[in-house]
Amino acid sequence: MGRTNQGWKVGRWLLLSILPALHLSAQVGHEPSHSPYHDIRRGGVGVITVGYLGGSRGGPGVGISDGPTGGLRYEVAFGNALGASLGIAYAQTTRFVVDPTKDSLSRRTGPFNTDVVLADVALQLALTGRKTWHGFAPYLGGAFGAAIGGGSPPDPTGYDFGTKLTVAPGAGLRWYPARRVSVRTDFRVVLWRLKYPLDYKNPSPDGSRVLPLTAPLTEWTAHPWITIGLGWTF
């Protein structure tokens, strides 16, 4: 009986010694020096980007697409997870010209260079808040803006890309190799609506048409846009 009581006392002493240590470990979690989470420096961020814009040219094939881009963005954070950005980019895209007065084999010419300026305001939701995980910070977002075309070749119907309102859902990933420096990749799908001239429904010499008589004269096209950027936090 004496040995039993002695064993019980030793076991109780060990249990009381271990519990506070476990409780303290649960409270502390990772040591700051070994934690996978680190605070993101607050401040505005200037970003230089390069990328590529692709996507659909629409049914008649006269929309702009397929070209490199270069741009600038300025980002600010609101609270712990929300942020906003202003961006402007130049895209050196191409487009084709369609002449509805020619037959189906000869009506399309190009591609021709068509410069486009993309300007937008974007909102972003940081999935890790104001912290990075192992230096990385993913986000979701969306942008509203305008695409302004220029340098379009002469078109027999007077068709011109002009200025289009754009909407662009997207996502991205930032990597912070240093407190002020960030490298990021951003993927968006830019949507805009093309408007075609009525001449596209006129019959050509071989009886074919650029657009069927029942087809609408407007069309939304989607344009994947991927960019890589280098940011500096001020």
Instruction: Answer yes or no: do 69 and 155 share one domain.
Output: yes
DSSP letter (8 states) at residue 43 = S
pLDDT the model gives residue 33: 57
CA proximity to 91, closest of 63, 58, 110: 63
* Poorest-pLDDT segment among 7-16, 97-106, 142-151, 152-161: 7-16
Residue 47 pLDDT exceeds 70: yes
Instruction: Answer yes or no: do 84 and 21 share one domain.
Output: no
Phi-psi region of 134 (alpha: psi -120 to 50; beta: other; left: phi over 0): left
Instruction: Answer yes or no: do 211 and 103 share one domain.
Output: yes
Residue 170 pLDDT exceeds 80: yes
87-139: pLDDT as tens digits: 999 999 999 999 999 999 999 999 999 999 999 999 999 999 999 999 999 99
Instruction: Answer yes or no: do 10 and 73 share one domain.
Output: no
Q: How many CA atoms lie within 13 A of 150 on its CB side?
A: 8
Instruction: Answer yes or no: do 42 and 23 share one domain.
Output: no
Domain with 23, as residue range(s), is: 1-35
Residue 66 pLDDT exceeds 70: yes
- Chain-wide mean pLDDT for the chain? 88
What beta strand segments (E) does 14-103 contain?
Answer: 37-39, 45-53, 67-78, 82-98
11-22: pLDDT as tens digits: 445 434 444 443
Residue 82 pLDDT exceeds 80: yes
Q: Residue 183 phi/psi, 5° resolution?
A: -115, 135
| Residue 202: CATH number of its domain | 2.40.160.20
- Number of domains within the chain: 2
How far is the C-alpha of 184 from the C-alpha of 187, rounded, in Å?
10
pLDDT the model gives residue 37: 85
Instruction: Answer yes or no: do 30 and 127 share one domain.
Output: no
Instruction: Answer yes or no: do 89 and 5 share one domain.
Output: no
Q: What is the mean pLDDT of residues 53-69?
A: 96
Confidence of residue 57 (pLDDT cuts 50, 70, 90): very high
Instruction: Answer yes or no: do 188 and 72 share one domain.
Output: yes
Instruction: Answer yes or no: do 167 and 53 share one domain.
Output: yes
Instruction: Answer yes or no: do 14 and 130 share one domain.
Output: no
Beta-strand relationship, 163-175 and 136-150? antiparallel
Instruction: Answer yes or no: do 151 and 120 share one domain.
Output: yes
179-212: pLDDT as tens digits: 999 999 999 999 999 999 999 999 999 999 999 9
How far is the C-alpha of 26 from the C-alpha of 229, rounded, in Å?
39
pLDDT above 90 covers a percentage of the chain that reads 78
Instruction: Answer yes or no: do 112 and 139 share one domain.
Output: yes
- Which has more pLDDT, 47 or 42? 47
Q: What is the mean pLDDT of residues 40-58?
A: 96
